[in-house]
Amino acid sequence: MPAPREAAGRGSSDVVVAEHVTKSWGTTSVLRDVTCAIGHGVTGLLGANGAGKTTLLGMVLGLHRPDGGRLTVLGGDPWSAGPEVRVRLGYAPEYDALPPDVGASDVVRHIAELHGLPRREATGRASDALWEVGLGEERFRPVGTMSTGQRQRVKLAQAIVHDPALVLLDEPTNGLDPAQREDMLELIRHVGHDLGMNVILSSHLLEEVEQVSDAVVILDDGVVVAGGSMDELRGGGEELVVELDGGVDASSELVDRLAAEGVAASATGSTVIIALERPIVMDLVRDVLAEHGYGIRRLQPRVTSLEDVYLGASRTPVETP
């Protein structure tokens, strides 16, 4: 598996670093004190519609100037050194943005040339990129005659054709049916993991971010409410769910008793959720339950999902497909 590209120039391990970035459109504050670091691999940029994801991507591309704070992309400032930064970026916008009367191969070759590839290399790589996204046989068809799924693939092909260090994908599964969405997510995983490009996947769909991302930045109403690798966000991941027979009193009593043993737990109604931080926690829980004779309705291990993380951090609901 190819190694992810290093952020050129500075030896930094992060491809995007935002420090206290703010942005407003008129009187509407879109990004507020955004601070995050996006490293190698596939990173999900998750948030509800209007959370500021597309604005942040626009700033990464150097299309908008931050009102405050500092943004570094691949070691450079995307606003002041836009062309030099963008030459190493690939971008697939959220909206349908391809000329309908031009063949897919011509579009992709043209984008490769715009990013500095000589014409001959651009022609060859356009063909390779379209084969890679599954459009080898269809590559000479005008884009306007293609289905939504095929057009999304052309957008992905034009974003990767010049072998960029960082690929920005804005809602790449928009308009796709479930099967097409699965295929697209598999392609994105392939781009990020097998082809070794760093990918930022902007999406409002929890499940697809969780499915392909190595790390996540969660935006809520212009504020970063959580960020980090999936493992970090899940905090080790595993929990034990215990539903008791004795109602609310019993569950709060159990939480206190576990706390006395040094075990972190929280109660919601008659359910107690216990973090399985250490292997011995399971034994401690068993002993406390047996010693005090709690009636148990349900005892179930559970892996913390991104949805749990999101719901814990955000006030705005996001969609699940």
**Residues β-bridged to residue 266:** 273
Q: Of the two residues 68 and 116, which places its CB atom closer to another protein in the complex?
A: 116
Residue 89 C-beta: closest distance to another protein, Å: 7
Smaller CB separation from another protein, 82 or 149: 82
* Nearest distance from C-beta of residue 135 to another protein, angstroms: 12
Cβ proximity to another protein: between 222 and 254 the closer is 222
Tell me the CB-side half-sphere exposure of residue 147, using CA atoms within 13 A.
8
Residue closer to another protein by CB (options 63, 313) is 63
66-84 per-residue burial string, b: 16 or more CB within 10 A, e: under 16? beebebbbbbbebbeebee
- For the chain, state the CA radius of gyration: 23
DSSP annotation of 197: -
Task: Write down the least CB distance from residue 15 to another protein, Å.
Answer: 16
For the CB of residue 319, give the shortest distance to another protein in the complex, in Å: 20
Query: What residues contact 164, with CB distance under 8 A and at least 6 apart?
Result: 88, 89, 90, 115, 197
> How many Å apart are CA 268 and CA 87, to the nearest integer?
51
Contact residues for another protein, defined by CB under 8 A: 2, 25, 54-55, 57-58, 61, 63-64, 82-84, 86-87, 89, 91, 93-101, 106, 110-111, 113-118, 121, 125, 128-129, 131-132, 158, 160, 162-163, 168, 170, 195-196
CB of 216 to another protein, least distance (A): 21
Q: How far is the CB of 147 from another protein (least distance, A)?
A: 17
Cα–Cα distances in angstroms (integers) from residue 15 to residues 4, 8, 88, 89, in the given order: 10, 9, 11, 11
Q: Single out the residue of 185, 220, 167, 224 nearest to residue 40, CA to CA.
A: 167
Residue nearer to another protein on the CB measure, 91 or 294: 91
- Nearer to another protein (CB atom), residue 15 or residue 117: 117
